[in-house]
Copies of this chain bind each other. A is one copy, B any other.
Amino acid sequence: MQTEEEILKIKKVKNTAVRTVVLRHLLSQEKAQSLKDIENALAYTDRSSIFRTLKTFEENKVIHSIEDGSGMTKYAVCAKGCNCDPKDLHYHFYCTNCDKTFCLFDVPIPKIQLPENFKQQQANMVVKGLCDNCNK
């Protein structure tokens, strides 16, 4: 596992206190985190600073954002080597019971045959249902 410092260096993002703690938090969670999740976890860091940190991370492909339909954008650290290209995409699973969002790295997304002259740049693929913990 890479340290926060290593990741930021590789992605050419200057290291700061806020960036380190935000990235550390994201790395420590197995589920994608919302701005509010992070804010709650980091009690003494300002929301707008976290917000701007997330934007910076996203621009530099440290993290990717997920719109899971919960009303809050969630963020997860990109897998090693990820470039956020269509080929790096993966499904997300949103649990409608516990409101958690999982990255399904192991399930490949098939190539989608678009209509004539449409061009894919990105995708947001969210499967909704019950996670293993809630499906009892």
Binding site for B on A (CB under 8 A): 67-69, 91, 93, 96, 104, 106-107, 110, 112-132, 135
Please provide the 5 A-B residue pairs with the shortest distance between their CB atoms, ordered closest to farther: A117-B132, A121-B129, A122-B128, A120-B129, A119-B130
A-B contact pairs, 6 of them (CB 8 A): A91-B112, A93-B115, A119-B130, A120-B127, A122-B128, A125-B125
Complex: chain B residue closest to A125, CB-CB: B125
Assembly stoichiometry (copies): 2
CA distance A128 to B128 in the complex (A): 19
Given contacts A91-B112, A114-B107, contact A128 B132 (CB under 8 A): no
CB-defined contacts of A104 to chain B, threshold 8 Å: 114-115
Shortest CB-to-CB span from A122 to chain B, Å, is 4
CB-defined contacts of A106 to chain B, threshold 8 Å: 115
CB-defined contacts of A130 to chain B, threshold 8 Å: 118-119, 121
* Contact of B110 with A110 in the complex, beta carbons under 8 Å: yes
Given contacts A107-B114, A117-B135, A135-B118, contact A125 B128 (CB under 8 A): no
CA distance A67 to B117 in the complex (A): 23
* Contact of A124 with B117 in the complex, beta carbons under 8 Å: no
Query: Which of B121, B122, B127 contacts A114, CB < 8 Å?
Result: B127
CB-defined contacts of A69 to chain B, threshold 8 Å: 67, 124
CA distance A126 to B93 in the complex (A): 14
